[in-house]
Chains A and B, each alone.
Chain A
Amino acid sequence: MKHNLILRVISKFMIPLIFLFALYVQFHGDFGPGGGFQAGVIFSAGIILYALVFGTELAQKIIPPRVLHFLASLGVLIYAGTGVASLILGGKYLEYGVLGSNQVAGQHLGILVIELGVGITVMSVMLIIFFTFAERGRPE
């Protein structure tokens, strides 16, 4: 599809905007609709658009599958690790209140960190699934 001029120009214009919107949705999930899941899916949609227009080989040069496997586990570990951090600091598992200077600051920090973990995992898993489907049909 990269020979189609309109697709190339428009996608090069839209993809950075899609990433920016994904970051906005991730970090403003506290004050408006949004959060980790939506941001992860939108971010992966940007990369899927790039892969559809320019080919999966170029897309896999940007994010190699090994990095995706690492990021998928990293997100789950961030989430579980926040719980363990609360245990170490004296509270119960996933009790965010002990992470900050007072109860409310700790809760806010905890919510931000786990939404980040959720966003990273969802983004990498959606991309893993898409690349797996795309690679299966390609002959050796």
Chain B
Amino acid sequence: MIESIVDIVLLALLVIHAIAIIYLRNLFAVIMLFSSFSFISAGLFVVMDAVDVAFTEAAVGAGISTVLMLGTIALTYSRGDNKQEKLPAHKPWLPLIVVILTGGMLIYGTSDIPAFGDPLAPAQQHVAPYYLEQSLPDTGVPNVVTAVLASYRGFDTLGEVTVIFTAGVAVLLLIGGRRRTKTETRAGDDRET
């Protein structure tokens, strides 16, 4: 009972965050709201018993992503600028219709999913009980998520480490050098090269 109330309160806070991110025009406020959104979603993951995921989401979303976005504003808006988004030029009717249609179809589609928290749902039946029973005798590691990540599905984790490495290399290639001075970076010059 208490868990459901905490669940609903956290989800309601997250909905308010998401709608505020749409309406606010000050970019600094948008980034701070995004960081708070990430942190509250980490709390929601803990309520849903996903402790490893909550750890990673808090560290990565509220930590690294926020710092990188703040760094981007520092690089793209100079000191005196008003860090505001421009007023929109078009009326938002078409995106609104698309979003409402997609949301309606998704809500209609999820009415077939078994109820939230059902222990007899098909998702809990075939592979998961095997992992829960066999991971301690097979690998000697009590944390089932680490055992599955590192041993039963080790190839996926190898691919993931490679993706992170590739992202680092790509960022180095894109903005690795020093920035050219203001007089050189005019739009016409860059597009000729």
A128 near B179 with CB under 8 A, answer no
Whether A104 touches B139, Cβ cut-off 8 Å, given contacts A29-B146, A38-B56, A130-B68, is: yes
The A interface is mostly helix, strand or loop, or mixed, namely: helix
The 5 A-B residue pairs with the shortest CB-CB distance, nearest first, are A125-B168, A133-B71, A33-B51, A107-B139, A41-B59
Q: Which residues of A contact B157 (CB under 8 A)?
A: 79, 114, 118
Bound state CA distance, A139 and B172, in angstroms?
Answer: 18
Please, could you name 15 A-B residue pairs with CB atoms under 8 Å apart, sorted by A? A30-B142, A30-B146, A34-B55, A38-B56, A41-B60, A72-B168, A76-B161, A108-B140, A108-B141, A110-B151, A111-B139, A122-B161, A130-B67, A132-B172, A138-B178
Q: Which residues of B contact A139 (CB under 8 A)?
A: 179, 181
How many residues of A sit at the interface, in one of the four size bands? 35 or more
Asked if B147 lies at the interface with its beta carbon under 8 angstroms from chain A, I say: yes
Residue in chain A with minimal CB distance to B182: A139
Decide yes or no whether A90 CB sits under 8 A from chain B: no
Whole-angstrom distance from the CB of A74 to the nearest CB of chain B?
Answer: 11
Cβ distance A43 to chain B, nearest Cβ, rounded Å: 10
Q: Which residues of A contact B56 (CB under 8 A)?
A: 37-38, 41
Give the complex CA separation of A55 and B179 in angstroms: 18
Q: B147: which A residues are within 8 A, CB to CB?
A: 111
Q: Are A104 and B161 in contact (CB under 8 A)?
A: no
CA distance A124 to B169 in the complex (A): 11
Contact A96 B151, beta carbon cutoff 8 Å: yes
B171 close to A111 (CB less than 8 A): no
Tell which of A29, A38, A73 touches B165, judged by Cβ atoms closer than 8 Å.
A73
CB neighbours (8 Å) of B52 from chain A are 33-35, 38
B contact residues around A105 at 8 Å (CB): 140
